[in-house]
Chain A
Amino acid sequence: MCGINGIFAYHSASSAPKETELVTTREAMRVRGPDGLGTWWSVDRRCGLGHRRLSIIDLSDRASQPMTSEDHRFVVVFNGEIYNYPQLRTELENDGVRFRTTSDTEALLHLYAHHGAEMVHRLRGMFAFAIWDEVRRGLFLARDPYGIKPLYTATDGWTFRFASQVKALLAGGPVSRDPEPAGIVGFHLFGSVPEPFTLYRDIRSLPAGHTQWVDGAGPREPKAFFNLAEVLAKGVAQPVPLAEVSERVHAGVLDSVRAHLLADVEVGIFLSAGIDSGALLGMMRDAGQHEISAVTLAFEEFRGTPEDEAPLAAKVSKQYGARHIVRRLSEREFIADLPAIVEAMDQPSIDGVNTWFVSKAAKEAGLKVAISGLGGDELFGGYPSFSDLPRWRRRFGAFAAIPGLGSVARRVIGALAPGISYTSPKVLGILEYSGSWAGTYMLRRGLFLPHELPHVMDPELAREGMRRLKPLSRVAAHLKPELKSNNTRVCVLESAQYMRNQLLRDADWAGMAHSVEIRVPLVDSKLLRTLAPVIPVLGPGVGKTALARSPAVPLREETVIRTKTGFGVPTSAWMDAFATRATHSTIREPDNKGLVSRRWSRIVLNGPGLTQNQLESGAS
Chain B
Amino acid sequence: MLAIVSDAFGGRGGIAQYNRDFLGALTETGAVSRITVVPRHAPDEVVLPEGIEQTRPRSNRIIYSVAAIRTALLSHVDVVFCGHLYMAPLAALIKRLKRAKLIVQTHGIEAWPRPSKVQRAAVESADLVLCVSRHTRAAVLSWAAIEPERVLVLPNTVREAFTPGDRAAKRASLGMEGRHVLLSVGRMDSGQRYKGQDRVIAVIPDLIEKGYDVHYLIVGEGDDRARLEALARDNNVNERVHFLGPIGLASLVETYRAADLFALPSTGEGFGIAFLEAMASGTPALGLAITGAVDALADGELGTVVSKSDLVATIAHLLSQPKPDPIALATAVRSRFGRKQFAAGADAVLNRLAEPS
Contact = CB atoms under 8 A, between A and B. Distances in A.
Interface stretch (B19-27, B150-158, B168-176, B178-186): B150-158
B153 A11 contact: yes
A176 B135 CA distance: 11
B348 A217 contact: yes
Contacts of A204: 148
Nearest to A13: B336
B357 to A, nearest CB: 7
Contacts of B153: 11, 13, 157-158
A458 to B, nearest CB: 15
Contacts of A219: 148-149
Contact of B298 (A15, A155, A216): A15
Contacts of A331: none
A184 to B, nearest CB: 14
Main secondary structure, interface of A, reads: loop
Contacts of B352: 217-218, 220
Contacts of A222: 149
Interface string B304-339: 000000000000000000000000000000011100
Contacts of B355: 220
A467 interface: yes
B357 A221 contact: yes
Contacts of A266: none
A157 B298 contact: no
B97 interface: no
B18 to A, nearest CB: 15
B142 interface: yes
Interface string B344-357: 11001101100101
Interface in B133-161: 133-134, 137-138, 141-142, 145, 147-153, 155
A13 B152 CA distance: 13
Candidate in B148, B149, B349 with the most chain A CB atoms within 10 angstroms: B148
Nearest to A467: B145
B293 to A, nearest CB: 14
Contact of A12 (B145, B149, B151, B344): B344
A45 interface: no
A221 B301 contact: no
Nearest to B356: A223
A12 B141 contact: no
Given A156-B137, A157-B131, A201-B142, A13 B298 contact: yes
Nearest to B146: A468
Nearest to B335: A12
Given A204-B148, A221-B357, A12 B134 contact: no
Contacts of B142: 178, 201
Interface in B169-214: none
Nearest to A470: B145
Given A12-B344, A156-B138, A468 B149 contact: no
B147 A158 contact: no
Nearest to A464: B143
A219 B133 CA distance: 16
B341 interface: yes
Nearest to A157: B153
A157 B336 contact: no
Interface in A1-33: 11-13, 15
A221 B147 contact: yes
Given A217-B351, A217-B352, A13 B138 contact: no
A307 interface: no
Top 5 A-B pairs ranked by shortest CB distance? A157-B153, A217-B348, A157-B137, A468-B145, A12-B341
Given A178-B138, A204-B148, A218-B352, 6 more contacts: A12-B336, A15-B301, A156-B134, A157-B151, A158-B153, A470-B145
Interface of A: 11-13, 15, 155-158, 176, 178, 182, 201-202, 204, 216-222, 467-468, 470
